[in-house]
Amino acid sequence: MIPIRDTAPCNSTPYVTWGLMAICSLIFVSMQLMPLEVSTKILNLYGMVPNRYANPQWGLENGMPFDGYLSFLTNLFLHGNWMHILFNLWFMWIFGDNVEDRMGRWRFLAFYLICGLLATLMQWYASPTLIIPVVGASGAIAGVLAAYYFIYPYERVVVFFFPIVLQVPAVLFLGLWVIFQLYHITSSTYVKGIEMDSAWWAHVGGFIAGAILYRFFMRKDAAA
């Protein structure tokens, strides 16, 4: 199911949501215009390469000195390809504005970044010896999806479910999204020959973080 839009009302202009989308887009397009060796170096330095922290000596030998865990934050603004960024921005466009509306701009920004950091930490814990960079806003956006799940469970999400368009409750759509993430985690963990091609643990970690933390970031006049 591909979401098209939601029916939840938004009573404020989502400047933070738009700003985060613009920053990710600008960085991604800029990197597409760079020579491949330059963009690859940026991904390795500012994407979160788990083995860099599990084995600092390996990081030094491969041009990735310890950075004080800076990449746990900076990786949230990097994306690997067009499909990666388009899907992330599309979900942010549909669900981020409503969560920002209920939290307020600065609370929403803090919530987004904290969920992203915790999602990255979960991915590092799950695969500490991975030697390729983990990048993308998916973990932070998963936190936003969790907040939406609990704030707007019965709002409708308009989805394209080939070959028809239909409306489903947000609790159903996002519940299926969580099941999809867990399916990929269990498949890559227990089925021989299937490799993890996305940061599924970051998605689940971000959702768990959002589910736990969202209530602490709600505006007092907008408590769920």
Can you give the residue ranges of every domain in the chain? Answer: 2-222
Query: By three-state DSSP, how is residue 87 classified?
Result: helix
pLDDT in tens, 46-67: 999 999 999 999 999 999 999 9
Decide if pLDDT at 193 tops 90: no
pLDDT in tens, 86-117: 999 999 999 999 999 999 999 999 999 999 99
Q: Cβ contacts of residue 26 below 8 Å, gap of 6+?
A: none
Q: Average pLDDT, stretch 15-30?
A: 98
Q: Give me the amino acid identity at 105.
A: R
Its CATH architecture, for the domain 2-222, is Up-down Bundle (1.20)
Q: State residue 220's pLDDT score.
A: 84
Decide if pLDDT at 186 tops 80: no
Mean pLDDT of the chain: 92
Q: State residue 197's pLDDT score.
A: 55
Whether the full predicted model's pTM is greater than 0.85, yes or no, is yes
Question: Could you give the percent of the chain with pLDDT greater than 90?
Answer: 86
Q: Are 219 and 102 in contact (CB under 8 A)?
A: yes
Confidence of residue 138 (pLDDT cuts 50, 70, 90): very high
Q: State residue 199's pLDDT score.
A: 81
d(CA 42, CA 27): 11
Peptide bond into 163 cis (omega under 30): yes
Q: Average pLDDT, stretch 130-135?
A: 94
Q: State residue 187's pLDDT score.
A: 67
pLDDT in tens, 139-182: 999 999 999 999 999 999 999 988 899 999 999 999 999 998 88
Confidence of residue 200 (pLDDT cuts 50, 70, 90): confident
Q: Average pLDDT, stretch 73-87?
A: 95
